[in-house]
Amino acid sequence: MIKSNTLAAPVTASSKAGLAALLLSAVFGFGVIFAVGLAQADALHDAAHDVRHANGFPCH
């Protein structure tokens, strides 16, 4: 067995990259909550139905 005494340097993200990821996640999350919370159930069903057909999945 080969042992090494060298340690790998930890990989750290810059604070700007972390902040950008946090803001992007927050905007996406609020967008999903807003869209799902305010959309009519029939509109969501019709959109999902159309996407299934567009991708070639039978649904009925």
Residues 21, 22, 28, 32: what is their CA dihedral angle, to the nearest 10 degrees? 150
pLDDT at residue 53 in the model: 86
Distance CA(20)–CA(13), nearest Å, equals 11
Decide which of 5 and 52 is more confident.
52
Q: Is the pLDDT score of 9 beyond 80?
A: no
Q: How many CB atoms lie within 10 A of CB 52?
A: 13
Q: Are 56 and 48 in contact (CB under 8 A)?
A: no
Distance CA(54)–CA(47), nearest Å, equals 10
State pTM to two decimals. 0.47
Decide which of 23 and 60 is more confident.
23
Q: Are 41 and 35 in contact (CB under 8 A)?
A: no
Confidence of residue 7 (pLDDT cuts 50, 70, 90): low
